[in-house]
Amino acid sequence: MASDKSVYEKIVFVTGNPGKFTEIQEILAAVSITAIQNKGDYPEIQADDLEPIAAASAKAAAEDLQIPVLVDDSGIFIRALNGFPGPYSRFVEDHLGNPRVLKLMENETDRSACFKTVVAFCEPGRSPVTFTGTVEGKIAFEERGNGGFGFDPIFDYNGKTFGELGSEFKNTISHRRRALDKFIEWVKKQ
């Protein structure tokens, strides 16, 4: 890895998702890392786990842009649905949305779920490094709250949905925060 710490002062975060970018930007700013958004659309491999998807996307973006990049792949894994939608969360969000996910859960007594994020960092010509964060919760019975994005209004964490928590608190406990904390610790050792 590059020994010049300045490579980590500004990180290009590749995403077209404004909610993800805002969260990443706020979390990294707290440790004096500036996130710069690149809305590039890179091919995403199909896999049952987030790690290989994030790693492949980071590698493709780093090679294409010829700069170090950070990529995030996230999903909600619902136990009663055998981990669905998992790595297909974005597709499900775009084509079904929260109301239909709640319909799928209508008669389920086990409402446990976890949010998972994998951030992958890659420099051109190098192998990607991945960092995983998870947070346990459950699927609410209805959408609650106007904050966040995606599945946040149906993911209940200790009695409140991520949509109700507000970004300041959510960014202290979220799956994305936990993955980024691991990335930040790794950066400090470089």
CA atoms lying within 13 Å on the CB side of residue 89 = 22
Pairing of strands 10-14, 34-38: parallel
CA 48 to chain centre: 16
* Distance of alpha carbon 44 from alpha carbon 54, whole angstroms: 8
Q: Give the C-alpha distances (Å, rounded to integers) separating 47 from 30, 50, 51.
A: 33, 7, 9
Q: Would you call 73 a catalytic residue per the annotation?
A: yes
CB atoms under 10 Å from CB of 75, counted, come to 26
Annotated catalytic residue, options 72, 73, 152, 156: 73
Taking the CA atoms of 88, 93, 97 and 98 in sequence, report the sign of the dihedral they define. positive
> Quick one: CA torsion of 174, 138, 58, 32, rounded to 10 degrees?
0
Q: Which amino acid does the sequence have at 59?
A: K
CB atoms under 10 Å from CB of 146, counted, come to 9
Q: Residues with catalytic annotation?
A: 73
